Amino acid sequence: MLSPVIEEALNNQITVEAQSSQIYLAMASWAEVLGFEGVAQFMYAHSDEERMHMLKLVKFINERGGHAKISALEAPPTQFGSFKEMFQELFNHEVKVSACINDLVDICLTEKDYATHNFLQWYVSEQIEEEALARNILDKIKLIGDDKGGFYLFDNDIKLLITAANKA
């Protein structure tokens, strides 16, 4: 059985994950409108992944005797300036999500809820991967600079990344 403190904290994380999905969906739409198919596919896939993170929390809360609550979300931005700015925003958002997960882990230890602590270790590992991926993409964008041909190649590379991941 979840304590009220843990249940509330997990429900807050549901909102964080849902908001992440919406942000990445908005980024996907923006990239698609600009003709960057690879970046759009990457962001659509990322949006789906964040939604799965949310659903995993919903099911966990309900299975542990709590009540998962779905709350309203803030509208995400619809414009992102440049791809560098968009991926910087993605990276900053992932750092924020990592901080939220770390706070959740801390609450679990304080509450001595080791089952939830164990469940959250998957999210801790996932966030390490998410931050590393975002940092890697930012590093590539910095290498490209303002080279439009470089962005074309980057878009194709990221499309291949998504295609390979879907085949795996």
Is residue 127 marked as binding?
yes
Long-range contacts of 113-119 (CB under 8 A, 24+ apart): 113/2, 113/3, 113/6, 115/64, 116/2, 116/6, 116/10, 116/60, 116/64, 119/60
Is residue 41 marked as binding?
no
For 22-52, b/e burial (b = at least 16 CB within 10 A) is bbbbbbbbbbeeeebebbbbbbbbbbebbbe
Coil vs helix vs strand at 2: coil
Is residue 111 marked as binding?
no
* Max CA pair span of the chain: 56
Is residue 94 marked as binding?
yes
Q: Which two tokens stand for residue 116?
A: 């939830």
Residue numbering of the annotated binding site = 17, 50, 53, 94, 127
Residue numbering of the annotated binding site for Fe cation = 17, 50, 53, 94, 127
